């Protein structure tokens, strides 16, 4: 059943994945469009942040909830857009923006610290996004599928109550993804600062 479901939804997964990838590329290209003053400001910010990073001084509880709420907002917005017939473009925009944020972040690190920035991106950006991106893919495809189902039910005037089971399934999927994101927030709160602390001492702007 799972294999059949994935096979049926492969075009949607491919489309959303390509959209995310386009966002990553666009975000990386945006770095080259920054002015010299903007690049210098970013360089100073990154340098001060990573060189003064002290994992032991992090307020774990406050940091966890801050990260968790930020991650849950993405999935929450995707769920909300999926409930609306006109929310389909919003889902795709969110996926593209997520790609832009990732591409811009990595592009800034590499631009300021060269290969060391790539190493920093591998320990600060890549680990949690290896889980976040699949979560967003699954959530987005579920939202797109539910939104399309809503459109079909309105067009073909399906019988009342026919949307209840798909809604419960859709909401259950989103809740499952949200639980996974809480685990990701734990990783970002207590593991990522340690990994960045190992790499930070070797950073010097190029």
pLDDT at 205: 47
Tens digits of residue pLDDT in 19-77:
999 999 999 999 888 888 888 888 788 777 766 666 665 667 778 999 999 999 999 99
Rounded Cα distance, 196 and 206, in Å: 19
Tell me the Cα Rg of the chain.
20
For a pLDDT cut of 90, what percent of the chain falls above it?
46
pLDDT at 19: 94
**Highest mean pLDDT of the ranges 59-63, 98-102, 105-109, 123-127:** 98-102
8 A C-beta contact, residue 152 and residue 64: no
Q: Buried (b) or exposed (e) across 139-169, using 16+ Cβ within 10 A? A: bbbbbbbbbebbeebeeeeeeeeebeeeeee
Token pair in block for residue 61: 């509880």
Backbone angles phi, psi at 79, to 5 degrees: -60, -45
Q: What is the mean predicted confidence (pLDDT) over 152-162?
A: 61
Q: What is the mean predicted confidence (pLDDT) over 2-6?
A: 55
8 A C-beta contact, residue 35 and residue 149: no
- Domain residue spans of the chain: 2-202
Block residue for tokens 């994945």: 17
């Amino acid at each position: 059943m799972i294999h059949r479901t994935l096979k049926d939804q492969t075009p949607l997964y491919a489309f959303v994945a390509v959209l995310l990838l386009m966002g990553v590329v666009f975000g990386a290209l945006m770095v080259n469009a920054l002015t010299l003053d903007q690049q210098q400001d970013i360089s100073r910010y990154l340098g001060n942040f990573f060189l003064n990073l002290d994992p032991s001084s992090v307020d774990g509880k406050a940091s966890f909830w801050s990260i968790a709420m930020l991650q849950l907002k993405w999935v929450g917005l995707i769920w909300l857009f999926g409930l609306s017939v006109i929310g389909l473009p919003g889902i795709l925009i969110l996926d593209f923006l997520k790609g832009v944020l990732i591409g811009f972040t990595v592009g800034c690190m590499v631009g300021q610290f060269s290969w060391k920035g790539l190493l920093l991106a591998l320990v600060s950006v890549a680990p949690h996004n290896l889980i976040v991106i699949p979560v967003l893919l699954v959530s987005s495809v579920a939202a797109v599928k539910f939104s399309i189902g809503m459109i079909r039910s309105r067009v073909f005037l399906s019988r009342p109550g026919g949307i209840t089971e798909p809604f419960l399934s859709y909401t259950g999927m989103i809740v499952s993804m949200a639980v996974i994101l809480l685990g990701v927030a734990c990783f970002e709160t207590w593991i990522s600062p340690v990994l960045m602390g190992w790499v930070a001492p070797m950073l010097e702007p190029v």
